[in-house]
C-alpha cells in the first residue's frame, strides 16, 4: 500500500527510506487477531486506498508535543487523565454529548490539578474509539446467532443480519465522525471554553448532586485565586487555550495503516488517526501484527497489561516498542482488577527499574473489574474501581515509581451503568438509564467522585 506524505508547508520535504515505507506493511505477514471478516476483502482494500488520500486527523507536531508532555509524566512531574466512552458511536457524536464529555474531563482535570498541584495531561478516549475487540466472534439471542458487534467502524449494533455484517465503508464514516468530533473538541479547547476562568461554567447543565456541589466549592476557591493572581498582574490569557489530545485503541489494522502518513520534516511515519494509540490486552502478542505495526510509528503508544502479564512479556514489549528508551514513547495501562493489583503490579514495576526503562504508568481501574448481574447487565462496582486505584498508588509508593495517571470509561451523562457511588446505584437502578453499547461507564457524578479520590491519593503520594 502507498503511504502519503503529511506536508508541513514551512519545511523542506525529507524522503523516507524504502525500509521505513516497506516496514509499514510487514504486519500483513504476521499473525493477526480481532480483525473483522469483511465479506468482500477487495471492498475493504478500496476503502483503505481512499483513506490513504484523506487529510490527516492530527499532525506530527501535536503528536510530538504529547510525547514531550508524557515524558514529564514519566518523570513524575505531571499526571494523565484519559477518559471517554468504551465504544463511541456515530449516532452519539452530537454536540451535546461531546461537550458533556469534554466538560467532565476538564472538571476532573481541575480537581486533580488543584488537589495535587500538578499539571494534568488531558486525553479523550474520543474521536476514534470506534472499533472493539470481542471475546467471542458471535452473539446468540433466542437461538439466533449473528456476528458480534465490533464497534461502529465495523458493523451496526442492531441484532439483524444486515446490521451485523461487517461493512468496510464504515471505516470512512469513522474517519468523518472522528474529524467532526475533533473539530468540536478543538473549538472548545482552543476557543476559550477550557479557560480556567470558565471553571464554574463546566458545572452548568449537570443535575445537582453531592459531587458537583463539592466541585462548585472548589471552583469558588480557584476563582478567588485566579482573581487574586490577575490583580497581582498575572497574565491569564495564556490559559485560554488548553491541549486536549485524542486517543483510541489501535485495533482495526486497515484503518490505522491507511491513516499513517510520512512526516515531511523527518521522513518518519505517524499514525494520524489520533495522537495517542494504545494496543489492547487481547492484541498485544509480541509476534503479532499490532505490536509490529505500532513499533514503526512515532506516536506515543500505550499497551494494556492485564493480571496475567509476566515480567518477560513486559520486558519484550519495552524492547520492541521502545528500543531507544525515548521518554514519553511508551505507556503501560494496567487493568489488573481490584483483587489482583497489589500482587500483580509491584513485580512489573521492579522489573522496569532493572531494565533502564521509564514508561508512563496509567491505571485503568475499569477493565479488570467487570461483572454481570443476575438480570444480565454488564456492570462494575464503583468501590472496586476505587479499590484498584488505591492499589495502584500503593504499589507505586512501595516500589518508588511514579503513578502516572488514570484511564476511565466515563460519560458526561447521568447514565446508570456502574453500581454504587454516592448515588448508590443498585442492580434495579441499572435499568433506569443503561445506554452503553459495550462496557459500563462512570456517569458524571461518579467521574467527579473518582477525581476527588484520586486527587487525595495523588496528593498523599507526593507528600
Q: Give residues in contact with ligand PEP (CB under 6 A).
A: 86, 133, 249, 280-282, 304, 335, 367, 439
Nearer to ligand PEP, 122 or 367 (CB): 367
Tell me the CA distances in angstroms from 204 to 18, 84, 108, 149, 198, one per residue in order. Answer: 53, 19, 14, 35, 10
Q: Compare residues 87 and 110 and give the one whose CB is closer to ligand PEP.
A: 87
Report in angstroms how near the CB of residue 462 gets to ligand PEP at its nearest.
27
Min CB(220)–Co ion separation in Å: 35
Residue nearest to ligand PEP (CB): 280
Nearest-approach distance from CB 164 to ligand PEP, in angstroms: 19
Nearer to Co ion, 295 or 369 (CB): 369
Here's the x/- map for Co ion, 426-455, by CB under 5 A: it reads as -------------x----------------
Could you tell me which of 330, 317, 334 has the C-alpha nearest to residue 368?
334
Pick the closest to residue 153 from 137, 167, 133 (CA basis). Answer: 167
Nearer to ligand PEP, 215 or 278 (CB): 278
Reported as type and span, the H/E element at residue 419 is none
To the nearest whole angstrom, how small is the minimum distance from the Cβ of residue 364 to Co ion? 9
- Return the number of the residue (110 or 277) whose C-beta is nearest ligand PEP: 277
- Provide the minimum distance between the beta carbon of 227 and Co ion in the complex, in angstroms, as a whole number: 41
The one of Co ion, ligand PEP, none whose footprint includes residue 281, by CB under 5 to 8 A per kind, is ligand PEP
CB 341 within 8 A of CB 382: no
Nearest CB to ligand PEP, comparing residues 249 and 449: 249
Q: How far apart are CA 117 and CA 113, in angstroms?
A: 5
Q: Give the SS3 label for residue 89.
A: coil
Rounded distance between C-alpha atoms, residue 168 and residue 254, angstroms: 10
The x, y and z cell numbers of residue 266, run together, are 523527518
**Closest approach of Cβ 340 to ligand PEP, in Å?**
13
The strand pair at 144-147 and 79-84 is best described as: unpaired
Handedness of CA 79, 74, 398, 337 (dihedral sign): positive
Residue 86 found at the interface with Co ion (CB under 5 A): yes
* Residue 429 site contact among Co ion, ligand PEP, none (CB < 5 to 8 Å, cut-off depends on kind): none
User: If you write DSSP's letter for every residue of 116-160 in order, what string do you get?
Assistant: HT--EEEEES-SS------S-SEEEETTEEEEPP--TTT--SSSS
Q: C-beta of 124: minimal distance to Co ion in Å?
A: 14
Q: Give the alpha-carbon dihedral of 75, 410, 252, 166, to 10 degrees.
A: 180
- Taking the least distance from each CB to ligand PEP, the nearer of 304 and 396 is 304
Contact of residue 335 among Co ion, ligand PEP, none (CB under 5-8 Å per partner type):
ligand PEP
State the nearest-atom distance from the C-beta of 284 to ligand PEP, in Å.
Answer: 8
**Residues 6 or more apart from 266 whose CB is under 8 A from it?**
14, 60, 298
Which residue's CB is nearer to Co ion, number 67 or number 132? 132
User: Considering the complex, what minimum distance in angstroms separates the CB of residue 86 from Co ion?
Assistant: 3
What is the rounded CA–CA span in Å between residue 49 and residue 42? 10
CB of 367 to ligand PEP, least distance (A): 4
Distance CA 126, CA 85 (A): 7
Q: What is the rounded distance in angstroms from the CA atom of residue 175 to the CA atom of residue 167? A: 14
Q: Output 127 or 211, the one with its CB closest to ligand PEP.
A: 127
- Cα–Cα distance, 331 to 406 (Å, whole number): 12
Q: Where are the beta strands (DSSP E) in 264-359?
A: 269-271, 276-279, 301-305, 330-334
Q: 152 is in the binding site of which of Co ion, ligand PEP, none (Cβ under 5 to 8 A by kind)?
A: none
- Residue number with CB closer to ligand PEP (185 or 251): 251
Tell which positions 102-161 bind Co ion, by CB under 5 A.
none
Note the residues at the interface with Co ion (CB under 5 A).
Answer: 86, 439
Amino acid at each position: 500500500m502507498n503511504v502519503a506524505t503529511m506536508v508541513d508547508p514551512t519545511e523542506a520535504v525529507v524522503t523516507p527510506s524504502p525500509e521505513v515505507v516497506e516496514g509499514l506493511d510487514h504486519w500483513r505477514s504476521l499473525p493477526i487477531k480481532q480483525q473483522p471478516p469483511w465479506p468482500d476483502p477487495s471492498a475493504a482494500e478500496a476503502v483503505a486506498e481512499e483513506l490513504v488520500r484523506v487529510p490527516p486527523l492530527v499532525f506530527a507536531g501535536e503528536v510530538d508535543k504529547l510525547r514531550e508532555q508524557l515524558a514529564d509524566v514519566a518523570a513524575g512531574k505531571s499526571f494523565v487523565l484519559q477518559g471517554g466512552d468504551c465504544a463511541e458511536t456515530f449516532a452519539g457524536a452530537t454536540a451535546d454529548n461531546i461537550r458533556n464529555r469534554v466538560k467532565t474531563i476538564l472538571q476532573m482535570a481541575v480537581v486533580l490539578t488543584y488537589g495535587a498541584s500538578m499539571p494534568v495531561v488531558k486525553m479523550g478516549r474520543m474521536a476514534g474509539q470506534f472499533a472493539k475487540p470481542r471475546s467471542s466472534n458471535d452473539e446468540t439471542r433466542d437461538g439466533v446467532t449473528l456476528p458480534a458487534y465490533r464497534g461502529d467502524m465495523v458493523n451496526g449494533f442492531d441484532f439483524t443480519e444486515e446490521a451485523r455484517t461487517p461493512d468496510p465503508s464504515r471505516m470512512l464514516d469513522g474517519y468523518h465522525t472522528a474529524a467532526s468530533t475533533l473539530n468540536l473538541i478543538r473549538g472548545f479547547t482552543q476557543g476559550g471554553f477550557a479557560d480556567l476562568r470558565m471553571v464554574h461554567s463546566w458545572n452548568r447543565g449537570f443535575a445537582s448532586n453531592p459531587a458537583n456541589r463539592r466541585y462548585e466549592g472548589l471552583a469558588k476557591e480557584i476563582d478567588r485565586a485566579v482573581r487574586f493572581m490577575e490583580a497581582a498582574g498575572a497574565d491569564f490569557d495564556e490559559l485560554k487555550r488548553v491541549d486536549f489530545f485524542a486517543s483510541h485503541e489501535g485495533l482495526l489494522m486497515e484503518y490505522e495503516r491507511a491513516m499513517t502518513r510520512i512526516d515531511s520534516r523527518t521522513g518518519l511515519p505517524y499514525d494520524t488517526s489520533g495522537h495517542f494509540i494504545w494496543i489492547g490486552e487481547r492484541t498485544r502478542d509480541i509476534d503479532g501484527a499490532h505490536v509490529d505495526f505500532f513499533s514503526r510509528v512515532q506516536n506515543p503508544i500505550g499497551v494494556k497489561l492485564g493480571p496475567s502479564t509476566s515480567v518477560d512479556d513486559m520486558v519484550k514489549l519495552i524492547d520492541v516498542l521502545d528500543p531507544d528508551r525515548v521518554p514519553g514513547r511508551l505507556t503501560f495501562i494496567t487493568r489488573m482488577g481490584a483483587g489482583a493489583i497489589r500482587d500483580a503490579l509491584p513485580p512489573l514495576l521492579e522489573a522496569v527499574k532493572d531494565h533502564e526503562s521509564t514508561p508512563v504508568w496509567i491505571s485503568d481501574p475499569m477493565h479488570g473489574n467487570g461483572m454481570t448481574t443476575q438480570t444480565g447487565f454488564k456492570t462494575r462496582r464503583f468501590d472496586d474501581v476505587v479499590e484498584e486505584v488505591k492499589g495502584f498508588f500503593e504499589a507505586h509508593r512501595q516500589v518508588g515509581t511514579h503513578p502516572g495517571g488514570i484511564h476511565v470509561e466515563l460519560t458526561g451523562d447521568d447514565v446508570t451503568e456502574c453500581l454504587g457511588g454516592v448515588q448508590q446505584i443498585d442492580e434495579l437502578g441499572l435499568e433506569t438509564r443503561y445506554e452503553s453499547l459495550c462496557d459500563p461507564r462512570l456517569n458524571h457524578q461518579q467521574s467527579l467522585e473518582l477525581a476527588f479520590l484520586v486527587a487525595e491519593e495523588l496528593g498523599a503520594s507526593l507528600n
